Structure formats: C-alpha cells, structure tokens
C-alpha cells in the first residue's frame, strides 16, 4: 500500500501536504506522483536510496522547486501556486533549513550566521544578536560567537546551522542529511539537539536521511523509491 | 597534448567554463580597447611632433637692397599672428629662382599676390569682416595648405606670396635655400612625451590588475578541478599548462574583441582634443607593431598571471589549499601617508621667506632651495602611502561597517572585505594614484587660471600691447616719430579706444639682457603723463605736476604671467632733456585699450604694417590673450589628468566587477542557500554593490582628499595672488560623475550573473 493520497482533502490537522507531485530534470524523472501529508509538530523521516527523489521531494515541499504537476499545500495555502517573492517570504518567515554542508556563509562569524535570517527579516541589529547569543547557549556553542565558520568542527558547524534554522522560530524545519558529514557520535548529538528543540518549539520537521538510526528519532518514516512515496510499515505489514 | 586538453577544457566543459571565458574575455576586451585609445592618441601626438618643422627654417638676414637672383633660394619672412586668441602661422615668401624650395603641404610657392591657407583659416576668412582679419593678408587664395604643414585640422596657417623686392625690404626677412627637416619640438613636447609615458604606465598597471583579476576568476572552483587532475596523475607542470592555456585563450579572444571595439571608437577619439588641438583622424591609430605587441603581450601577461596565481596554491590530489594565509594589513602601512601629508603641509610654512641675494644684487625673499626637494619627497611619500595604506583603510572601513550595519547585505559584504582587504584594494589600487594626481591638478589649475585671468582685477585683459622694439634688434630701435604720430592719431580715432605710447630715450632705452626670466634689468621708457588719463592709471601714475615720467617696465611687455608683477609700475622723474620733446622720440611700445572685440581685431590688423615697418617681429596681443595661452597649457595638463582619472576609474571598476563576478561564482553555494532560506534577490544585489562600491568609493575619497590637501599646500606657496584653493571645477566633478556612472553600470552588469547562478531550482543541497 502506498502513502499516495491523490485528491484526498487536507486533513484538518495537516500542516503540509504533497498531492501527486511530478518533477523531472530534463528527461530524468525525479518524482512520479509523490503524495504525503504531515500534521503540525510531526517529525517525519524521509528515507530511500540515492537518487530515489527524496531531496527533490523536500525541495518541492519547501517551495524551492516548483513541481511540474501536482500540488503542494502549506497551512491551507497552495504553495506551488505562489509567486517566487511570496515563496521567498514564506521560506524566510515560516521555514528553516539544515543541510549536509556548505550552508554557512564563510566570511561571517558564528554569531553573524545565526543572526543573518533575523537581519534579513529586518529585525534590529541589537535584538538579532541578542537572540543569536541565546541560541548559542541553547546549542552549547558558548564562546564561539566570534569564530569564523572555517574554525569550527563539523559538529559545531551543524549546530550553528541548526541555530540559524531555528532562530526565526520556523513552523517547518527541513533537514537534508543533517548528519551526513558527521561521525556517529557527533551525529547523534546533533540529532538529539534537533529533535529536542523541535519538540520544545513545536516545529514540524521533514528529515531526509538514509541512516536508519537517524530516522529512528522521527515520529514517522516514509520511503521514497523511484519517485514515489511508500509507507514502510504498511509495506512490512503487506509482506 | 596538455595544450589540447586545456583548449578542450576551455570550450567544452559546460556553461560555467563558458561563462568564465566570456567574463575574462570581456574584461580583457575593455582593458585592451582603453589601452589602444591611449596608444592611438600618443601615436597622433608623436606624428604631429615628428613632422618636419618647416616653421623652424632659418637663413641669413637679408641686408636691405642686396637682392641677388638664385635658382634654388627664396626670401622667407615667418611670424605669428593672433585672431581672437587663436595663433595664426604666417609665412611670406618670394621665390628667387625656378628651383626655390617648396614648403610641405603646398604644391608650389605662391606667386606674388596669391596665398595658400589652411582650411580652418579659409573658413575664418570667409566668416569675419575683412578689416578684422582678411586685410592682414594681401592677395587672393591660390589653394589650401595640406596636412603635411599642420599638426591638426584646426591649425591656422597662411603662406603668402610677395614680390621679392617688396619682401626684401621687410624687417626680419631671411634668405633660405632649404626648408628645415628637423622635427617640431616646442616647450611642451617633452612634457607631453613624459606625460603620455606616465599615462601609459599608469594605465598598464590597472589594466594588468584587471587582466590578472580576470584570470583569477573562480579560482577556487577551478583549483578543485585541477586537484581532480592531480588525482588521476597529472603533474603540477601539466596542471600549470592547462591553467595557462585557459588564461591565454580567454585573453586572446578578449584582445581580439578589444581591437574590434577600438575600430569604431577611433574616429570618436580623433575628434577629442586631449592635448588642446585636434589631430588628423588618419594619425590617431596605433602602429601595426603596437597592435602586434598588444595582441601577443596581453595573452602572455594573462598566462603569466595564471601561472603566478597557481604558485600561491598547493594543488594536491586531495584538493587545493593556500600555501600561506594572507595576514591582515598592519597599521604601519599608513605611516608614509601621514608623514607625506605632514611634510607637504608644514614645509611651505617652514621653508619660505628665505632671504637671498638676487643676481642683480637685489635682496629677494623667496623659498629655500630645500623646499622643492622636500615637497617632492612629501609627494612621493603620499603616493607610496596611499598605495600601501589602501588595504588597511579598506579593512578598517569594512570592520566599521560590519560593526554597525543593520542589514544583512552590509554585514556580509563588510565581513568579506575585512577578510580579504588586499584583494579588494588590489582591484582599485591603480585608481588611487591617478585620482590623487588628477585631483591635485584639478585643484590647482582652475585657481591659477582664474588668478591669471583676474590678475590686477582683470583690467589688463583687454589691453593690447604692441612692441616696436624687439630685443633681438637691439636697444634704440622703435617706430620713427612721424609714423608714430600718424599711428596714434588713427588708433585713437577708433571709437572707445585709448592709447598709451612709451617712448625711448637715452642709453637705457629699450630692453636689456635678463639673467633668468624674472631678473631682467629694468627696461626703461618715457611716458607722457597727459596720455595716462583714467584708462591707464592702474599701470602708471605720475607725481603731481610732472609732465612725464620714466617707467621701469621690466618684463611687462614680454611675459604672459603678470601674477608677480606689481602695478602700478615703478616710476622715476623723466630725464631733464626728455620732458618737453616726447613727440620727437622714437616709440618703443604702445598700449591700446578697447573693450570691443571687433575694434580690437581692427586695431591689430591696422598695427601689422607699423610693427613690420619698425622691424618688430612681436605679435600685437592683449594681456588676456597672453595669459589665456598660458592658461590653455595648464588646462591641457588638467584635461589629460582628468582623462587619465576617468579611464583609470573605469578600468578599476572593471577590475572590481570582474573580482566581484569571480567572487560570486566561488560563493554560488552560500549565496544560493541565502536565497533558499528566504533572502530576497535585492539583498544579494546589495551585497554585491556594497562589496564593489565600498572599496571604490573609499579609495576615491581618500585619494581625492589627499590630492586636495596637496593642492592647498601648492596654493599656499603661490601666495595670495591666485586666491585660496577651492574645490575643483565642474569639469572635474562631471568627469568623476560620468566615470562613476560608467563604473556603476559595469558593476550592475554583474547582477544578472548573480540572479542566474543562485536560482534555487538548479541547486541541490545534500
């Protein structure tokens, strides 16, 4: 049984939903009718082999990619029908992002990087840096505010990225292989922090990973294969 | 093999390689076209100055009446005239035989009563009344003077044929058997030659920076690719070959494009009078040798820059890393600048008012001999200091902005600039020196020119000075009493005209030799007090009841700079024998005052016969015209300086644009991520503009301020005669404004690149 829900009305508690999404890159199809729905505060792990389309699904859900066909809904609004400036604003105000690497601005200090989304949202400088300082403490990054990102360890860099993603109190956090470049111990610590903070902030999390132990931190898992979404538990039951 | 691989990498490795190629080639094309503009103007200048100086032809003075026919000789009388402040070259000739040498630019010598004139003069002759100009030139037009006799299409030249017997009796007529073939050299030739040399060097530096910056485009990403080559077994040498081929190809394409861009620009350049006079369009072109040098030199320089940049990077099979982390610039870099400014500010106070004995035994109060070496040292310190301190100042300004910026754009840009101030400043370094020198000149020249124009309240500007007693003919010459009286009567008959004759009397009459320009022994003339009236009272004053005075004219009748000549002139009682019989004396000079330009030209035309009769080769000119000639020379220097500033500013902006463009390609990932996370495109645009405008503006402001400070010191040296230093004139601001607008347009041209490379749809962030 698949998790595809074409034409299904948005459940009352759903915050984000994909309906039969199709996305291709040139002649290569990445998503072939993927559907899913997530409720508020849910942590969803998206698993699947390399090239299955899980990152593309995340990018579609976040409004980075616009699907070729199908619909993306967020909080009762059709995301894929919004203009680029509207989607940009939504990403700035309602979404947060953590990726595997290359996400921090190298010229900026740790505090600058964390304060950046607030500055982009025209928050006063003083207030932005106060909030950044608070997040430094929450993510055990005391004393690293003035460091450059190149001077951080992988785990520290991911925590800075997490702080930067959460500093605006987003409603959805999109995390694409957030522990992919970390050793297992550091990865575990980053996941603990991410999940803990998401629960604390009541943030919905879309977590793309191919590691089962990372996916185990989520409330629910889905599997992406050949551009379609499956519910692995349902598949297991089916077997 | 490596060469072919490098070639293949340039053209067949996707859009990014192609974009880099286009960007490098565009930057090089702009640089090359600007370089060709400078070379073309220099070539035109050289062509004009290496022309045969037929005006320099000389021969023995003719002893009146000794006229012998000769097959290959002619009589030659060359002089300079003026019309409305424009100089006219006037040659009167008479062939003495069938093989008399012919002046270049005309097919044959004009017969008596005929003349050849340059096209510009012909146009003038047909457009102004005859009694203002045409009456000076007897005869009718035989043809046009060709380019061989002129340095530009605007030259006013006339070659008049006269009967030999008539010409033989004119003063200063020479017998000539060959036309001079030496190149034309005047007082400003060497100055311009050095000036053009400095301009060329001054432009080559920023152009090389531009080319170097261009070849460093997206260096980090390229170096990653080179690391992959190393991983599969390429040697560092092979990597070097690949890198240099890429740079060579891009620069070669850019050079060809630059040459193509220059072709339609050439006629436009020919119309611009950079040195004050226009050149013939055919001469405003680099030589084929220069084209070849540019065609080979620029790509080779680009190859060198690419190889040099690889020297600073260690490319191992596992990736690329900097061999050394650039250290932040130290505050010590600012020391030479501060020292230079202190020297330039303090020296005029400490080293002036120095008492010394003049060559004529007079005590002078002037600058110490140490002053100019000290000022030169100060200027060198300022220029070196500006260049050294630029990166430190950029870093400090960037840190300040980073500490205070409220927006994300200012913060990102300032942090990047603070991180790599040397790289940021390198792109605009050439601008510093050009803007410093340009501003100093633009600060001084208008004030000096205004001082010249307003010397003695500007009252001298309309005074025509006519000398009948040139130094070359010795003291005691001058216009005879009878024609003097007739001339005075006729001149005074022109409406609104007054005249002040100066008579020669006694052994001291006329000019005496000078020891240095400003140390002429007083030349003495006698002036009738009744002739002074109100019109000339500011020049000469008589004591009460005096009928005549002896006046020490000094350089009054020969200088074009009366800033340092006090008025009224010094007088002493007239010799007892001179008082009552002035009308029986020869007239040495006459001052004519009229405010009507048309009357002025009529008087000048009328005077030509009398100066010739007196044997004077001096051209009647107003003090205003003389000072305008001097001011024009200063203005030419200012124009050249401003042209250099404008070109350098545009080149610097190109470097900044290329550098920023390269930076964008290297930061594609974080910038795209910023867009993904909700940064609006305009925020990223602001980052780019901050990164480019901050160093450009900061550099421009500091260099201009240092230039103005230097100008202020120079003005202090010149004293109160020229007034205090003011801001440079509108031309300066217009030049700067236009160049900044072009620069901004160039910088804005990089923004579409930013939009394209940060499209979220094309990015993946695993």
Question: Does residue B359 sit within a domain?
Answer: no
Whether residue B523 contacts residue B554, with contact meaning beta carbons closer than 8 Å, is answered with yes
Query: Which of B556, B586, B615 is the last residue in one of the domains?
Result: B615
pLDDT at B78: 85
Interface list for B 255-274 with A (CB within 8 A): none
pLDDT at B160: 93
Q: Which of B407, B670, B676 sits opposite A106 (nearest CB)?
A: B670
Whether residues B63 and B46 share a domain: the answer is no
A108·B412 Cβ contact <8 A: yes
> Hey, of A83, A87, A119, which one would you mutate to test binding to chain B, going by the most B CBs within 10 A of its CB?
A119
Q: ipTM > 0.85? A: no
pLDDT at B358: 40
Say whether residue B613 is in contact with chain A using an 8 A CB cutoff.
no
Which residues of chain B neighbour A91 with C-beta distances below 8 Å? 676-678
Cα-atom radius of gyration of chain A, to the nearest Å? Answer: 18
A107·B680 Cβ contact <8 A: no
A90·B678 Cβ contact <8 A: yes
Question: Does residue B646 sit within a domain?
Answer: yes
For residue B663, what is the nearest residue in chain A, using CA coordinates? A107
pLDDT at residue B517 tops 50: no
Average of pLDDT values for B612-640?
Answer: 75
Relative to beta strand B463-467, strand B587-593 is antiparallel
pLDDT at A32: 92
**φ, ψ of residue B444 in degrees (nearest 5):** -85, -45
A3 pLDDT band (50/70/90 cuts)?
very low
pLDDT at A70: 93
Among B472, B501, B689, residue whose Cα is nearest residue B583: B501
Q: Which of A55, A89, A102 sits opposite B670 (nearest CB)?
A: A102
**Better-scored residue on pLDDT, A224 or B431:** A224
pLDDT at B292: 92
> Hey, of B328, B414, B417, B677, which one would you mutate to test binding to chain A, going by the most A CBs within 10 A of its CB?
B677
**Number of residues that make up chain A:** 239
Whether residues B602 and B541 share a domain: the answer is yes
A65·B760 Cβ contact <8 A: yes
Whether residue B381 contacts residue B339, with contact meaning beta carbons closer than 8 Å, is answered with yes
pLDDT at residue A167 tops 70: yes
Whether residues B200 and B318 share a domain: the answer is yes
pLDDT at residue B360 tops 70: no
Whether residues B198 and B319 share a domain: the answer is yes
> Hey, of A108, A171, A208, which one would you mutate to test binding to chain B, going by the most B CBs within 10 A of its CB?
A108
DSSP state of A114: H
Residues in CB range of A136: below 8 A, 6 or more apart: A110, A111, A114, A142, A144, A145, A163
Say whether residue A24 is in contact with chain B using an 8 A CB cutoff.
no
A153 pLDDT band (50/70/90 cuts)?
confident
Residues in CB range of B765: below 8 A, 6 or more apart: A55, A97, A99, A100, A102, A103, A176, B673, B676
Whether residues B61 and B45 share a domain: the answer is no
Which residues of chain B neighbour A85 with C-beta distances below 8 Å? 680
Average of pLDDT values for B111-131?
Answer: 91
**φ, ψ of residue B426 in degrees (nearest 5):** -55, -40
Question: Does residue B351 sit within a domain?
Answer: no
A177·B676 Cβ contact <8 A: no
Average of pLDDT values for B137-161?
Answer: 88
Say whether residue A169 is in contact with chain B using an 8 A CB cutoff.
no
Average of pLDDT values for A185-214?
Answer: 87
**Better-scored residue on pLDDT, B205 or B597:** B597
The mean pLDDT of chain A is 84
Relative to beta strand B174-176, strand A77-78 is unpaired
Average of pLDDT values for B315-338?
Answer: 75
Alpha carbon of A165: minimum distance to chain B alpha carbons (Å): 9
Average of pLDDT values for A154-179?
Answer: 89
Alpha carbon of A227: minimum distance to chain B alpha carbons (Å): 16
Question: Does residue B195 sit within a domain?
Answer: yes
Which residues of chain A neighbour B669 with C-beta distances below 8 Å? 102
Which residues of chain A neighbour B764 with C-beta distances below 8 Å? 55, 59
User: pLDDT by residue (tens digit) across A5-32?
Assistant: 433 444 556 899 999 999 998 888 999 9
Whether residues B194 and B94 share a domain: the answer is no
A55·B764 Cβ contact <8 A: yes
B766·A55 Cβ contact <8 A: yes
Alpha carbon of A239: minimum distance to chain B alpha carbons (Å): 32
Alpha carbon of A4: minimum distance to chain B alpha carbons (Å): 24
Whether residues B211 and B268 share a domain: the answer is yes
For residue A121, what is the nearest residue in chain B, using CA coordinates? B679
Say whether residue B325 is in contact with chain A using an 8 A CB cutoff.
no
B678·A88 Cβ contact <8 A: yes
pLDDT at A132: 92
pLDDT at A173: 92
pLDDT at B766: 45
pLDDT at B640: 74
Question: Does residue B675 sit within a domain?
Answer: yes
Instruction: Write out the DSSP string of B563-580.
Output: TT--SSPPEEEPPTTTTT
pLDDT at residue B452 tops 60: yes
User: pLDDT by residue (tens digit) across A90-118?
Assistant: 888 899 988 887 578 877 889 988 988 88
B678·A120 Cβ contact <8 A: yes
**Better-scored residue on pLDDT, B759 or B463:** B463
User: pLDDT by residue (tens digit) across B368-387?
Assistant: 677 777 878 888 888 888 88
Residues in CB range of B490: below 8 A, 6 or more apart: B606
Least confidently predicted of A162-176, B587-601, B734-748: B734-748
Say whether residue B407 is in contact with chain A using an 8 A CB cutoff.
yes
CA dist A105 and B737 (Å) reads: 34
Instruction: Write out the DSSP string of B130-168.
Output: TTTTGGGS-SEEEEEPPGGG-SSTT--EEEEE--HHHHH
Which residues of chain A neighbour B674 with C-beta distances below 8 Å? 105, 116, 120
Q: Which long-range contacts (CB under 8 A, 24 or more apart) does B268-274 make?
A: B269/B37, B269/B40, B269/B41, B270/B44, B273/B154, B274/B41, B274/B636, B274/B639, B274/B640, B274/B643
CA dist B224 and B227 (Å) reads: 5
CA dihedral B439, B440, B441, B447 (to 10 degrees): 100
Whether residue B449 contacts residue B631, with contact meaning beta carbons closer than 8 Å, is answered with yes
pLDDT at residue B725 tops 60: no
pLDDT at B362: 37
A131 pLDDT band (50/70/90 cuts)?
very high
Angle CA(B69)–CA(B71)–CA(B73) in degrees, nearest 5?
Answer: 75
For residue A173, what is the nearest residue in chain B, using CA coordinates? B677
pLDDT at residue A4 tops 70: no
pLDDT at residue B665 tops 80: no
pLDDT at B658: 74
Whether residues B70 and B170 share a domain: the answer is yes
Whether residues B432 and B527 share a domain: the answer is no
Among B608, B563, B663, residue whose Cα is nearest residue B92: B608
Query: Which of B291, B325, B359 is the last residue in one of the domains?
Result: B325
pLDDT at residue A204 tops 90: yes
pLDDT at B316: 66
pLDDT at residue B118 tops 50: yes
Whether residue B337 contacts residue B390, with contact meaning beta carbons closer than 8 Å, is answered with no
For residue B680, what is the nearest residue in chain A, using CA coordinates? A88
Question: Does residue B643 sit within a domain?
Answer: yes
pLDDT at residue A74 tops 90: yes
User: pLDDT by residue (tens digit) across B88-97?
Assistant: 888 999 988 8
Number of Cβ atoms within 10 Å of the Cβ of B173: 24
Total of domains in chain B: 4
B419·A107 Cβ contact <8 A: yes
Question: Does residue B383 sit within a domain?
Answer: yes
Q: Which of B405, B416, B760 sits opposite A64 (nearest CB)?
A: B760
Alpha carbon of B27: minimum distance to chain A alpha carbons (Å): 26
A105·B677 Cβ contact <8 A: no
pLDDT at residue B533 tops 70: yes
pLDDT at B521: 45
pTM reported for the whole predicted model: 0.63
Alpha carbon of A99: minimum distance to chain B alpha carbons (Å): 6
For residue B758, what is the nearest residue in chain A, using CA coordinates? A64
Residues in CB range of B512: below 8 A, 6 or more apart: B475, B520, B521, B523
Q: What range does the domain containing B380 cover?
A: 372-456+631-766
**Better-scored residue on pLDDT, A89 or B182:** A89
CA dist B290 and B276 (Å) reads: 25
> Hey, of A107, A110, A162, A173, which one would you mutate to test binding to chain B, going by the most B CBs within 10 A of its CB?
A107
DSSP state of B719: G
B415·A119 Cβ contact <8 A: no
Out of A219-228, B39-48, B67-76, B559-568, the most confident range is A219-228
Whether residues B392 and B311 share a domain: the answer is no
Q: Which of B407, B412, B676 sits opposite A97 (nearest CB)?
A: B676
The mean pLDDT of chain B is 77
CB-count burial class (<10 Å; 0-12, 13-18, 19+) for B530: exposed
CB pairs under 8 A between A and B: 90
CA dist B460 and B453 (Å) reads: 9
Say whether residue B753 is in contact with chain A using an 8 A CB cutoff.
no
Which residues of chain A neighbour B408 with C-beta distances below 8 Å? 116, 119-120
Alpha carbon of A68: minimum distance to chain B alpha carbons (Å): 12
Alpha carbon of A123: minimum distance to chain B alpha carbons (Å): 8
Whether residues B61 and B148 share a domain: the answer is yes
Whether residues B444 and B478 share a domain: the answer is no
% of chain A exceeding 90 in pLDDT:
30
B131 pLDDT band (50/70/90 cuts)?
confident
Whether omega before B322 lies within 30 degrees of 0, making that bond cis, reads: no
Question: Does residue B344 sit within a domain?
Answer: no
CA dist B489 and B504 (Å) reads: 19
Say whether residue A97 is in contact with chain B using an 8 A CB cutoff.
yes
User: pLDDT by residue (tens digit) across B249-287?
Assistant: 888 999 999 999 999 888 887 776 665 567 787 788 888
pLDDT at B32: 86
Which residues of chain B neighbour A64 with C-beta distances below 8 Å? 676, 760-761, 763
């Amino acid at each position: 049984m698949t998790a595809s829900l074409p034409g299904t009305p948005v459940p009352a508690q759903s915050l984000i939903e994909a309906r039969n999404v199709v996305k291709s890159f040139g002649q290569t199809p990445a998503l072939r009718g993927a559907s899913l729905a997530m409720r508020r505060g849910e942590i969803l792990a998206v698993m699947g082999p390399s090239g299955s389309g899980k990152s593309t699904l995340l990018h579609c859900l976040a409004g980075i990619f616009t699907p070729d066909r199908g619909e993306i809904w967020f909080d009762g609004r059709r995301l894929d029908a919004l203009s680029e400036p509207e989607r940009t604003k939504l990403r700035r105000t309602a979404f947060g992002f953590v990726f595997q690497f290359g996400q921090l601005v190298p010229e900026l200090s740790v505090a600058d990087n964390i304060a950046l989304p607030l500055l982009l949202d025209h928050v006063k400088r003083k207030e932005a840096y106060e909030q950044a300082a608070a997040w430094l403490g929450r993510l055990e990054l005391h004393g690293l505010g003035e460091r450059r990102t190149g001077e951080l360890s992988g785990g520290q860099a991911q925590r800075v990225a997490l702080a930067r993603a959460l500093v605006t109190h987003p409603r959805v956090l999109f995390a694409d292989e957030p522990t992919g470049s970390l050793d297992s111990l550091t990865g575990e610590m980053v996941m603990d922090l991410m999940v803990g903070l998401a629960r604390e902030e009541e943030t919905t999390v879309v977590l793309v990973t191919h590691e089962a132990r990372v996916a185990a931190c989520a409330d629910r898992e889905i599997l992406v294969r050949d551009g379609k979404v499956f519910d692995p538990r349902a598949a297991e039951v089916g077997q | 093999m490596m060469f072919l691989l490098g070639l293949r990498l340039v053209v067949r490795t996707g859009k990014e390689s192609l974009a880099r190629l286009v960007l490098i080639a565009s930057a090089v094309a702009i640089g090359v076209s600007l370089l060709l503009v400078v070379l073309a103007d220099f070539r035109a200048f050289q062509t004009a100055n290496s022309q045969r100086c037929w005006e320099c032809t000389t021969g023995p003075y003719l002893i009146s009446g000794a006229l012998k026919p000769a097959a290959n000789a002619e009589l030659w009388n060359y002089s300079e005239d003026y019309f409305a402040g424009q100089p006219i070259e006037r040659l009167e000739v008479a062939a003495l035989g069938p093989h008399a040498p012919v002046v270049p630019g005309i097919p044959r010598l004009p017969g008596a009563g005929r003349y050849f004139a340059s096209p510009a003069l012909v146009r003038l002759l047909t457009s102004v009344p005859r009694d203002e100009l045409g009456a000076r030139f007897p005869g009718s037009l035989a043809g046009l003077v060709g380019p061989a006799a002129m340095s530009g299409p605007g030259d006013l030249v006339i070659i008049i044929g006269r009967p030999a017997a008539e010409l033989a009796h004119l003063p200063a007529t020479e017998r000539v058997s060959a036309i001079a073939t030496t190149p034309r050299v005047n007082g400003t030739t060497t100055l311009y030659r050095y000036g053009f040399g400095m301009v060329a060097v001054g432009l080559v530096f920023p152009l090389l920076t531009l080319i170097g910056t261009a070849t460093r485009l997206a260096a980090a990403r390229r170096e990653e690719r080179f690391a992959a080559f190393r991983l599969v077994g390429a040697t560092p040498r092979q990597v070097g070959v690949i890198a240099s081929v890429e740079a060579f190809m891009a620069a070669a394409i850019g050079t060809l494009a630059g040459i193509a861009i220059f072709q339609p620009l050439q006629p436009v350049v020919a119309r611009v009078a950079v040195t004050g006079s226009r050149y013939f369009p055919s001469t405003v072109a680099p030589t084929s040798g220069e084209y070849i040098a540019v065609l080979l030199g620029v790509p080779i320089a680009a190859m060198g820059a690419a190889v040099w940049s690889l020297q600073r990077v260690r490319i191992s099979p596992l990736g690329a890393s900097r061999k050394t982390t650039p250290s932040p610039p130290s505050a010590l870099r600012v020391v030479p600048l501060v020292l230079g400014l202190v020297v330039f500010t303090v020296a005029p106070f400490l080293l002036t008012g120095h008492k010394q004995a003049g060559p004529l035994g007079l005590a002078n109060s002037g600058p110490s001999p140490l002053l100019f070496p000290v000022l030169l040292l100060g200027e060198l310190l300022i220029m070196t200091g500006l260049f050294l301190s630029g990166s430190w100042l950029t870093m400090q300004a960037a840190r300040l902005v980073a500490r205070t910026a409220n927006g994300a754009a200012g913060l990102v840009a300032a942090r990047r600039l603070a991180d790599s101030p040397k790289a940021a400043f390198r792109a605009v370094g050439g601008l510093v020196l050009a803007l410093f020198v340009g501003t100093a000149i633009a600060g001084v020249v208008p004030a000096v020119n205004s001082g010249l124009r307003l010397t003695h309240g500007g009252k001298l500007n309309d005074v025509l000075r006519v000398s009948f007693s040139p130094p070359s003919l010795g003291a005691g010459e001058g216009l005879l009493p009878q024609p003097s009286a007739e001339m005075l009567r006729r001149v005074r008959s022109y409406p609104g005209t007054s005249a002040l004759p100066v008579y020669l009397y006694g052994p001291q009459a006329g000019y005496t030799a000078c020891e240095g320009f400003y140390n002429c022994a007083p030349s003495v003339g006698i002036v009738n007090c009744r002739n002074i009236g109100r019109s000339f009272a500011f020049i000469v004053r008589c004591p009460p009841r005096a009928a005549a005075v002896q006046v020490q004219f000094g350089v009054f009748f020969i200088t074009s700079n009366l800033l340092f000549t006090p008025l009224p002139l010094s007088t002493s009682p007239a010799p007892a024998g001179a008082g009552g019989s002035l009308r029986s004396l020869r007239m040495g000079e006459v001052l004519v005052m009229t405010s009507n330009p048309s009357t002025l030209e009529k008087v000048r035309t009328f005077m030509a016969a009398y100066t010739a009769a007196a044997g004077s080769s001096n051209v009647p000119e107003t003090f205003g015209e003389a000072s305008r000639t001097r001011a024009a020379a200063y203005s030419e220097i200012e124009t050249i300086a401003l042209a250099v500033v404008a070109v350098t500013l545009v080149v610097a902006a190109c470097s900044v644009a290329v550098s920023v463009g390269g930076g964008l390609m290297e930061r594609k990932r974080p910038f795209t991520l910023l867009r993904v996370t909700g940064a609006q495109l305009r925020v990223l645009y602001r980052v780019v503009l901050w990164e480019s405008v901050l160093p450009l503006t900061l550099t421009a402001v500091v260099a201009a301020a240092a230039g103005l400070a230097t100008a202020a010191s120079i003005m202090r040296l010149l004293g109160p005669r020229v007034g205090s230093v003011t801001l440079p004139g509108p031309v300066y601001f217009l030049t700067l404004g236009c160049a900044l607008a072009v620069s901004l347009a160039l910088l804005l041209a990089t923004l579409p690149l930013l939009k394209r490379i940060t499209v979220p749809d094309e990015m993946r962030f695993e």
